[in-house]
Amino acid sequence: MGYELVVSAVTNELFNSLADPTRRAIFERLCRDGEQTVRVLTEGAGVSQPAVSKHLGVLKHAGLVRDRREGRQTHYSAQPQSLAPLIDWMSLYSAFWRDRLDRLETLLNRMDQ
């Protein structure tokens, strides 16, 4: 099932938070490697620490990461279950079939002519 079909069924925020390649790389790394500090994430990100912190803030707002303070360090971990709206097949197909039934009706109206 194509992604264009999902768009209407999920929040723009979730999409937007993952549309940025750097943010997506950070999120994927947290999913892959588990909890990380901002400092460690910055080493692999190719951008400055403030930029990484800003990206993490966006991901946190979208519910995709959780933070945990420990002393002077903040640790971030992925919350991949937040992606569920993107891959909920039932709502995806509901939206898909509604859209296709609209098109079917359009076709039927044209067949009248």
Q: Does 51 bind another protein (CB under 8 A)?
A: no
Q: Does 28 bind another protein (CB under 8 A)?
A: yes
Site string for another protein, 62-101 (x = CB under 8 A): ----------------x-xx-xx-xxxxx--xx--xx-xx
Nearest-angstrom CA–CA distance, 53 and 104? 48
Q: Does 113 bind another protein (CB under 8 A)?
A: no
Strands 36-37 and 65-70: unpaired
Q: Does 13 bind another protein (CB under 8 A)?
A: no
71/112 with CB nearer another protein: 112
Q: Is 47 helix (H, G, I), strand (E, B) or coil?
A: coil
Give the range of 28-36, 45-53, 55-63, 65-73 binding another protein by CB under 8 A.
28-36
- Options 4, 69, 71, 113; binder of another protein; rule CB under 8 A: 4
Q: Does 9 bind another protein (CB under 8 A)?
A: no
| Backbone phi and psi for residue 34, each to the nearest 5 degrees, phi listed first | 80, -165
Nearest-CA neighbor of 14 among 75, 68, 84?
84
Whether the Cβ atoms of residue 12 and residue 3 lie closer than 8 Å to each other: no
